[in-house]
Every structure is written in C-alpha cells, then in structure tokens.
Structure 1
C-alpha cells in the first residue's frame, strides 16, 4: 500500500498521533473533485461548535482562503498558501500575533489545515524556470477538499439541532404560560384540588431554568412542565365533568312529578332503615368547612409538629392547618394525585389531619404516599375514620410526656 509523506512541524511545535492521522486521511482521500472554497468555509462556520472553533479562528481561515487564487479548490492546483503572520493579521482585521498563532493552532488541531513547514520555519514558495510554483511551505488547504462532505453533514446536523432548539423553546414557553393561567383559574375560583402544591411545583420547575439552556435542558424542563400541565388539566376536566353531572341530576329531578305529596311516607320504615344502613359505609365526609367532631385544638395536641409549618411557626385556623399540610406532604414525598384523592374522600381538612398524623409517625412509615393512598382507599370503603387515628396519637403523646417527666 502506498503512503504519502508525513511532515512534522518546525521547532518546538509537538507532533501528535492526531496530526499524523489527519495527514494520512487527507493523503488517502480521493481529491478528484473541485469545491467552492467559500461554500466549504460556510459549512465549517456553521459547524464550528462541533469542530471546537472560535469566531476568530474562522476569521483567520477566511484570511487563509483569500490568499488562494480563484474561487475553487482543486487537487491539481497548488493548495498551499504561504502568507506571513503580518499579512494574515492585516486580513484578519488586525488580530494580535498571540491570538493569531492560537487560532492557527486551533485550525490545525481541528484538521481544517495542515502545516507544511520549511527547514527554517519560514513560509515561502520556490518557483521554476517557467514561473510556476515547484514547491511551497505554509498551510495546506487539502483537508477542506477531503472533508468537504463531512463539514456539510455537520453543518446540516447543527442546523437541525437549532431548529429543534427553537421548536422546543417555543413549546416550553406555551406550556409554561398555559400552566400558569390554569393554576390561577383554579385558585381564583376556589375549585377543588391541590392548587397550592401545583403552584409550588410550577415555581420549582421554573426555578431550575438556566440562563443559557441547552437542548437537553429545554427538553427536560418541557417534560416536567408538560406533566404538570396534564395534571392540572385533568383536575379541571374532572371538576367540569362533576359540574355537568350535578347539573344533569338537578335537571332530571325537575321532571319528576307526583301529585301525592305524602308518597315518601308510604315507604315501610324497616325498608328505609335498611337502605340507610346499606348506604352509610360509602357516605363521604363533607369536603368543606371545619370537621364538627374534632376541635382544632385537639388536632394540634395530637399533631404538634405540623404547627412549625404554619405562619410564624404556629397554626390558628383550619385554613392555616391545610396550608401547612400542603408543605408537609411535599416534604413527605406524597404525590399531588394521592393528596388530591385524599381531599376528595376525606375533605381538605380531613386530608390535613391525616398528613399531620403521618408526619408524627414518619419514622415508622416506609412510604408516606403509599400509606396515605391506603388510608384513602379504606375511607372510601367506609373502613377508616380519623377519630381512632387522632385518639391513638393523643395517647401516644400523653405517654411520651409522662415518660419524659
């Protein structure tokens, strides 16, 4: 197999295996076609992030190409340019010598150009009797022909990534706007749902935005925001379906006509009792208002730790207790869907009491979210009530107080 001649840099400039590889690849490449030097320059410029080039390095490459006569690079023409540093600096908008040498090194390391140094390190050309260049020392532009297809492919990939970046950024902006306004609707209209948790999650996601995001950062933020949008939308859709269902029930009730006003007394008392006993286990607690059975003071005696999350480290109302429960449930790792389901079954105040009791026994519970879902399922079947749980916690606190005394 024939191999081309591998040249090494002059002086103290090191020779690396990567430089050897670039020279061998350029020698083995089929340089049978000519290319537009400014077309390949634009491709290199578009792909500069993939090639590790800075803008000033592109300015130096532009200057090098300007020293090559003609608009095309062809294998049968001399592809070595040999301008001095002073000439390069003048055509690179007066770039400093130190920066110029750094940029030339970048272009060599990136495989854009190849050094062909003379015996003394100077750049010049030796002409023959007919005036044509027989040998030249400087920078070879052959890699631009050998890698033209690669540079074009990289430029297309970068352009496609930029399009994906813009599309993802636009989608994130829209989803962020939608989530913000949907949460505001739920809060301002006092709709059922854990809107405080949704607000906290929204603020958390937005707080992780970086000033100069990458496509990966935007994709991760879009996934999180889309998931929150789905949860908020589902909550609003559930509320809308419930409202329509209630309206249909009322409308159906208006069509029930009975001229006998005493028809309800015709039911047998024993049958009414059985019906009441049968439906009692599935009866849900009231969702709004203060639980009539449990005074707030008793709840706070049973669950004193939750008071630390109230305004100023204390709780003076049921609203403050429910707000503190939202904070505590996030600390416990309870998902918004689990807490929302608990609110639907036990009511918001009941869910806050359950969270307070779970927080008191967090050291004995492996998964607070799974425990809350289990309590909710039992409450839905009529197999659980908050009373025994509260009284057990009161007794535990009393025994702990006596043992510490």
Structure 2
C-alpha cells in the first residue's frame, strides 16, 4: 500500500489531527477500490462549496491528476505523484510557485491529498531493477478513492440546492410578473379599488428581496407574493361578477324581497369615524354607481351577500411579522406581553374585542367570513386606529359586509398603518 504507516511533514510544517485522520482513512483502502480520476474531479468541482476548496486549489489538483499515468485511480497502479513545483506551474497555466504551495496546503487541509515527504523534502521516485516504481515521495491521491462516495453525495446535494434555488427564482419571477400585470390591468380599466396602494405594497415587497437571497428568503418572498397575487385575483373576479350582476338588475330587482327584516347589525351603533381619521385606513370601496344608489334596498344587499358567500374565495392572511409591524400596540395584549405566533395574536384579539366593546357575535361573524387570522388582524388594525373610530363593533360589521361582497382587502389597510408609522417593509438579509 502506497500510504504505508503514518508520515509527518518535512521541515517546519506542522502535523495536524486532520492529516492523521486522512492517513488513517487512506490506510483502510481496499485493493479492489478504484475511481475514474476525471469523474471524481468533476464531482469535486461541483461539491467545492461544501468542501471548502477554491477554484485555484482545484486547478492545482487538476495539474496533479494530469501527472497520474492512468485514467483510473487504483492502488495497483500506485497512488503517489511527484511533480516538482516548476512542472506544476507549467500545467497550472503559469501559476506562481508560492501560490501553488499555498493551494497544495489547502488541498491537504481539506483531506483531498496526503503529503508523503522524503527525508530531504524533495519529490522523487525510487525505481526497482525492472524499472517499476518501488517507492515514491510526493502527494498521495488515495483520499480521492476513499472519499469518492462522500464527494458524489456532496455534489448531488449542491446540484439539488442549485436546482431548488433556480426553481424558486423562476416561480418568484413569474409571480412578480403576474402581480404587476394584474395591477396594471386594474388601473387601465379603472376598476374599483385602491390599486395605487396595492402597487406601492407590491413595490415594497420586491424591494425587500436581497440580491443574493438565500433559499429561505426566496421561499418567504414567494409565499408573500403568491398571497398578494391570490388576493388581487380574488378582487378582480369579484368585480367581474358584480358587473355581470349589475347588468341584470333592472330585470330581476322587482322579484327580490328581503327575507331577513330583523337585522342583527343593531347590536352595535352605526359605523362612524371621528373627524381627522386616516382616509386610507378606512378604505372606502369604489363600487359601481348602481350598487351605491341601491344601498337602501335590503333585499338587493341580501342577494348580493348570498351570492358572494357562495362564490367568493377566502381572503388570504398576511405574514404575522407585517401585521405586528403595522400594529405594534397589539403586542401588549398577547400572553405575557408578547406575540410569537398566530394563536397568540388571536388570543390577544379576543381580549381587545372585549375592551373595545365589540360583541361576540360581531367578531364570530367576521371570523367566519374572513377567517380567524384575518379577523384578528382587523381587530389589531382597529386597536391601532381606535382614536378615529366611534364604534369598533359597527366598523367591524361594516368590514365584514364588504368582505362578503369581495370589496375589502387587508393589504392596503396594513400598508397604510405601516406608512403612518414612518416605516416600510423590512429588508431581509
């Protein structure tokens, strides 16, 4: 076996436990083990981020491999190469000898080659009478055979991670395009809704993505962007249904009757806002003119609400971090004065509901219509702007009715509060 017993470096070079471990592993090399030197080299190039080696160190290893006479590394053919630094420089595109020595040390520390120094530190081979190499001093390539499976596995992991990152970037790029064009369409068609605020929120999301984002950061950004796209799509679909419904109002209106004259909305005072309230936060929906003129017709509202309850897709919840950034006052009402997850936010919302005088039925109706996360988010927003709202319960019921008709979106409300605090979406990384 070429590795023989433990060998220590020549001169002032120190011996390390890593070198000892590499030599120990190489000593366990089986006689029938072999590997294609260029195949393992390609795997090394792929796995270099996990092995801690640089491109130039791999260039030196490439030069070392070129001195091995066979394409297949095996103990039968010997595993020690012994070129001089001058010869290595010629096959490393003229790399300086001092640089070559530094990269050889990197390869040794990474456990990819083993030093087998001669008594005087020179690299040479002693041949037998038949001309075969009896003993050689230089660098052993045995670790490449011993670690072949590990190197292949690391290369596969790097390739899988690269593919995962590529797919995340592709999906994020497509989602960004969808959101931008959907907002552009809504603005060009002058559809009802605060699309400028939605576009501002979209730009802040795009700006929060670092140039060198990690897979986790890309995944989070993609999830948030998909939520925004689903919300916009839901609003546009609802507006299209409303337009189709309005086209048949003159024919159908005389046949509609109010089947629920005893409204439960009287549990709270009518919704009012105090003077000086933020108009962006209130988000007055821009519905079609016929719908606005017919608000007093209870039968028509009941019909629209019934259709929306059956056809409208559920509102999507926004990231908890964004909610707490927009509504920091809510944190004080969480268990122990903090909120770490959605369950704690919903528990805080129940406390705030009672404090603001919102009836249990109003909150349950909001949760059933918007979803428990969105209902808790709305309560956090109402708490944040409580000084501008006369009746929190009436306002919650009004938002619930709008959500049933697909005329309410939480995103603009949250971004209005973020801007009111003088901040924006926090950048990742």
Question: CA, structure 1 residues 278+251, in 2 after alignment: closer, same or farther (shift >3 Å)?
Answer: closer
Deviations 1:177-197 (CA, angstroms, capped at 9, x unpaired): 001111223334343444344
CA contact (8 A) 1:282 1:380 kept: no
Question: CA, structure 1 residues 325+11, in 2 after alignment: closer, same or farther (shift >3 Å)?
Answer: farther
1:375 maps to which of 395, 420, 424? 395
CA contact (8 A) 2:117 2:137 kept: yes
CA contact (8 A) 1:73 1:145 kept: yes
Question: CA, structure 1 residues 90+357, in 2 after alignment: closer, same or farther (shift >3 Å)?
Answer: closer
Aligned residue for 2:280? Answer: 322
Aligned residue for 2:215? Answer: 215
Task: For 1:329 and 1:140, locate their aligned partners in 2 and report how far apart those are by CA, in whole Å.
Answer: 59
Q: Are residues 1:299 and 2:275 paired?
A: yes
CA contact (8 A) 2:382 2:392 kept: no
CA contact (8 A) 2:57 2:104 kept: yes
Task: For 2:47 and 2:113, locate their aligned partners in 1 and report how far apart those are by CA, in whole Å.
Answer: 16
Task: For 1:139 and 1:222, locate their aligned partners in 2 and report how far apart those are by CA, in whole Å.
Answer: 48
What secondary structure is seen at the aligned counterpart in 2 of 1:231? helix
Deviations 1:36-82 (CA, angstroms, capped at 9, x unpaired): 21111111111112211211111111100111112111111211001
Aligned residue for 2:413? Answer: none
Aligned residue for 1:56? Answer: 56
TM-score normalised to the size of structure 2?
0.62
Task: For 1:83 and 1:16, locate their aligned partners in 2 and report how far apart those are by CA, in whole Å.
Answer: 24
Question: CA, structure 1 residues 325+356, in 2 after alignment: closer, same or farther (shift >3 Å)?
Answer: farther
Question: CA, structure 1 residues 233+226, in 2 after alignment: closer, same or farther (shift >3 Å)?
Answer: same
Query: CA shift at 1:374, angstroms?
Result: 7.6
CA contact (8 A) 1:187 1:195 kept: yes
**Higher RCO (C-alpha 8 Å, min separation 6):** 2
Aligned residue for 2:155? Answer: 155
Query: CA shift at 1:34, angstroms?
Result: 2.6
Task: For 2:400 and 2:59, locate their aligned partners in 1 and report how far apart those are by CA, in whole Å.
Answer: 72
Question: CA, structure 1 residues 203+69, in 2 after alignment: closer, same or farther (shift >3 Å)?
Answer: same
Question: CA, structure 1 residues 380+105, in 2 after alignment: closer, same or farther (shift >3 Å)?
Answer: closer
Question: CA, structure 1 residues 196+171, in 2 after alignment: closer, same or farther (shift >3 Å)?
Answer: same
Give structure 1 stretches of 5+ with no counterpart. Answer: 257-271, 284-290, 307-320, 335-340, 345-354, 366-370, 382-405
Aligned residue for 2:79? Answer: 79
Question: CA, structure 1 residues 13+220, in 2 after alignment: closer, same or farther (shift >3 Å)?
Answer: farther
Aligned residue for 2:363? Answer: none
CA contact (8 A) 1:89 1:97 kept: yes
Which stretch has the larger CA shift, 167-176 or 13-22?
13-22
What secondary structure is seen at the aligned counterpart in 2 of 1:47? helix
What secondary structure is seen at the aligned counterpart in 1 of 2:138? strand
Query: CA shift at 1:233, angstroms?
Result: 1.6
Task: For 1:124 and 1:41, locate their aligned partners in 2 and report how far apart those are by CA, in whole Å.
Answer: 24
Question: CA, structure 1 residues 357+19, in 2 after alignment: closer, same or farther (shift >3 Å)?
Answer: closer
Task: For 1:14 and 1:329, locate their aligned partners in 2 and report how far apart those are by CA, in whole Å.
Answer: 55
What secondary structure is seen at the aligned counterpart in 2 of 1:204? helix
Task: For 2:28 and 2:157, locate their aligned partners in 1 and report how far apart those are by CA, in whole Å.
Answer: 26
Aligned residue for 2:68? Answer: 68
Q: Are residues 1:202 and 2:202 paired?
A: yes
CA contact (8 A) 1:114 1:139 kept: yes
Give structure 2 stretches of 5+ with no counterpart. Answer: 285-322, 331-365, 370-380, 402-429
Task: For 1:88 and 1:380, locate their aligned partners in 2 and report how far apart those are by CA, in whole Å.
Answer: 76
Aligned residue for 1:90? Answer: 90
Q: Are residues 1:46 and 2:22 paired?
A: no
Query: CA shift at 1:213, angstroms?
Result: 3.0
Query: CA shift at 1:323, angstroms?
Result: 7.8
CA contact (8 A) 2:122 2:137 kept: yes
CA contact (8 A) 1:31 1:145 kept: no
Which stretch has the larger CA shift, 114-123 or 29-38?
29-38
Query: CA shift at 1:88, angstroms?
Result: 0.6
Aligned residue for 1:397? Answer: none
Question: CA, structure 1 residues 277+134, in 2 after alignment: closer, same or farther (shift >3 Å)?
Answer: closer
Question: CA, structure 1 residues 252+75, in 2 after alignment: closer, same or farther (shift >3 Å)?
Answer: same
Deviations 1:94-152 (CA, angstroms, capped at 9, x unpaired): 11223212211221122211111112221111122222211111100011111222222
Task: For 1:86 and 1:48, locate their aligned partners in 2 and report how far apart those are by CA, in whole Å.
Answer: 26
Aligned length: 312
Aligned residue for 2:30? Answer: 30
Question: CA, structure 1 residues 124+55, in 2 after alignment: closer, same or farther (shift >3 Å)?
Answer: same
Aligned residue for 1:118? Answer: 118
Aligned residue for 1:242? Answer: 242
Task: For 1:36 and 1:226, locate their aligned partners in 2 and report how far apart those are by CA, in whole Å.
Answer: 46
Question: CA, structure 1 residues 191+88, in 2 after alignment: closer, same or farther (shift >3 Å)?
Answer: same
